[in-house]
Amino acid sequence: MKKIWHIGYLDLKLMVKDKAFFFWVLIFPLVFILIFGNLFQGSKTDTKASLTVLNRDQGRWGAYFVEKLKAPGIELAVQPTEPKEYVRMLVIPLDFSAKIEKRAAQTLQLKKDSDANMQAGAVAETKIAQAMVKLIAELVIYGNQRDIKAFFDTRSPYRDLVLVRTRLPKDTIVKIPSGFDHVIPGILVQFVMMMVLIYGGISVMEDRKRRVLARILYSSASFAELFGGKFLGRVLMGLLQSAILITAGKLFFHLNLGNIWLSGLNILVFTLAMACLSIFVGSVLKKEELIVGVSVLTANMFAALGGCWWPAEIVPPTFRALGMISPAYWAMDVFHKVIFFGKGFDAVWPNFLVLLAFTAVFMVLALRFFKINE
């Protein structure tokens, strides 16, 4: 076991000594994080739900409905005319009061800017629904009056006793996948794939050509210790890169990983699969530029299919089913379940089994093609 750790540590040490190592594992991923993080966050990230109300109603019910909209967590701006700029705007029509008094159905129009924050928008729409329920409930209570206009003539003690509470159903999303909390795990998965495949693959190929593998094997190390050391070195590299990106995410972007133990276990299991795949790539390919090209292509393809660039929940079912061939899909699914759905181990253990199955397949391939000499 000591020899395995020694071989793995030396491999990691050689990778870290590369002058370009920290550029590829930190600087370059940070550029992607900044670009995609701001892209998914949108340009109008109003954390407090803002709502412009265009009240065109000519009666008293429009103003009364606006009063029902007032609640903590929402910022109201009532306008008599349509403003040139708004994030989201609720339009109360001219005949709002008239239709209520006639007990006629009607429709309220909600206009939204395409760049509006989705989470704040969900809060605003919930508050609108609450106000509608309150108003309808009061109309039901006083619906036995022949003249509904008399609603405003007296103040009843039941008038303001309607309380509406909302909560998300059990096992549904608790946070919309967006911003840096979605992007950083995606970039982490993509670059762990890319860097472990590139550095791990090239080092295996170079050690074989320079007969480093043969010299290690001809010493007191066994084949199992040699292979185990090479495998460990790539695992350590992936974990080191993950730790660097998570630390940067925590410091600069307030990254939320949900249950840190489950997220950490997810990174570990995913890295095991990539470590085996890198040994396989370095064993079957004989040129550095070929390893780089195949690694970049594989990592980007797996990232696109696996939901690293956009949430897999928003893609068509066919594309999502196709994404299941990518190890990145199962790793990103764990991140989403833990971060955005608040799930526990009972919801993600099947993902870990799938990733371990990928590890087993890649391990068999790596052992089958791992060569000591050219």
| pLDDT tens by residue, 124-164 | 888 888 888 888 877 777 655 556 666 766 545 445 555 55
CATH class of the structural domain 49-116+118-152: alpha beta
**pLDDT tens column, 197-222:** 998 889 889 888 888 888 887 877 88
Q: Give the integer Cα–Cα distance in Å for 122 and 128.
A: 10
In a 3-state reduction of DSSP, which class is residue 186?
A: helix
Segment-wise mean pLDDT, segments of 10 residues, the chain, 374 residues: 84 81 82 77 57 86 86 82 86 88 85 77 84 80 63 56 58 61 88 91 88 82 88 92 90 87 95 94 91 92 87 81 92 90 90 96 93 78
- Tens digits of per-residue pLDDT, 238-275? 999 999 999 988 888 888 888 999 999 999 999 999 99
**DSSP secondary structure letter of residue 313:** G
Structure tokens at 112: 């939204």
pTM of the model: 0.68
Alpha helices in the chain (DSSP H): 2-17, 21-22, 28-41, 61-69, 96-101, 118-141, 179-209, 212-218, 223-253, 260-284, 288-306, 317-323, 327-339, 345-369
For the chain, the domains span 2-42+178-369, 49-116+118-152
Please give the Cα distance from 254 to 86 (Å, whole number).
28
Measured from the Cβ of residue 287, the count of other Cβ atoms closer than 10 Å reads: 10
Number of H helices, E strands in the chain: 14, 4
Cα of first residue to Cα of last residue in the chain, in angstroms, is 27
Q: What are phi and psi of 255, to 5 degrees?
A: -60, 135
d(CA 353, CA 78): 54
Length of the chain: 374
Q: What is the pLDDT of residue 265?
A: 96
CA-CA distance, 288 to 204, in Å (whole number)? Answer: 10
